[in-house]
Amino acid sequence: MRQRAAFLAALSFAFAVPAAAQIPRDSVGALLDRLRVDPATTTEADCRAKIGRAAELNAMGLFHGASVCGAVRMEVESSFLLAAGQIRAMADMGTMEAASESDQIGPGSLYYLIFFHLGGPGSEDVLRDPAETARLFHLLDDWTAVAGPDYDPGWPVGRRPEATAYQAAFAASKLHRRRQLAAMVRAFSDPDYYSLHREFTALQQRVRVFEQDTPEATRADDLQRQMGERGRVLGLDFDGDGEPDPVRPPPSPGEDAGGGEASEPVAEDAVVPGSAR
């Protein structure tokens, strides 16, 4: 059985899962629980407060901010904070070594949280609206992240990077994700590509798990092949490496590019960033 989880490799991590880390399923679930917000008690001021603290927040703080902004339908801000969380996570996991092997559960759980749940680009409506896209990139371009000696990435740190090394990792992570988002904007603005994407998304939402050699799985493969071909015609850089992607389209919501098992669905009453809207 082939299973497709949640926008998994859209982030295209430049590093592996923390070595030897055994990540319990409930540790990822606990992180998801921390992102839940109540729309009835959340305000636009709460969203603006998260934006104001974006430089100092760690990845989980940024993801929570994306949930807060999503709860009040501030979609540009939510998409920005989602991308910021992904970028911050990549920089932190790549530079802030866990203090012990048992502490690797922290970065490992964060990795799987993004891999299975929060690897997407945020609101498609934002990426398809030129004015909102411009606002998104303005927020992203103006944002920086600080990591002083007391900065907490979410796990005990055994060895911290030099400030210059951290900022280099952060800049590389930010450029990588920005290129991917720019490619997604171009893809979603192309009528042919977007039509294929929407059909695939609707098929995945209806079927959820594709069984090999079924008509649905065959059609999903064909749609992905066509998206890949169209992406190459458009010269899109889904890998974020500064070169047109020679092989594949970005994973659509529900695709398992990593060969892992499908994650459990998030409760419908939760406001969690990264899901298709």
* Residues 6 or more apart whose Cβ sits within 8 Å of residue 146: 55, 56
Of the listed ranges 94-98, 101-105, 141-145, 252-256, the one predicted with least confidence:
252-256
Confidence band, pLDDT 50/70/90 cuts, at residue 185: very high
- Tell me the average pLDDT across 86-95: 96
Contact 205, 140 (CB under 8 A): no
CA distances for 109 relative to 153, 180, 219, angstroms: 12, 23, 33
Chain segment 216-250, per-residue pLDDT in tens: 999 999 999 999 999 999 999 888 777 665 544 44
| Size of the chain, expressed as the number of residues it contains | 277
pLDDT at 127 > cutoff 50: yes
Place of tokens 């209806």: 206
Task: Kindly report the average pLDDT of the chain as a whole number.
Answer: 83
Q: What is d(CA 266, CA 120) in angstroms, rounded to the nearest whole number?
A: 15
pLDDT number for residue 142: 97
Confidence band, pLDDT 50/70/90 cuts, at residue 20: very low
Chain segment 36-53, per-residue pLDDT in tens: 999 999 999 999 999 999
Q: Rounded to a whole number, what is the distance in angstroms from the first to the last CA of the chain? A: 27
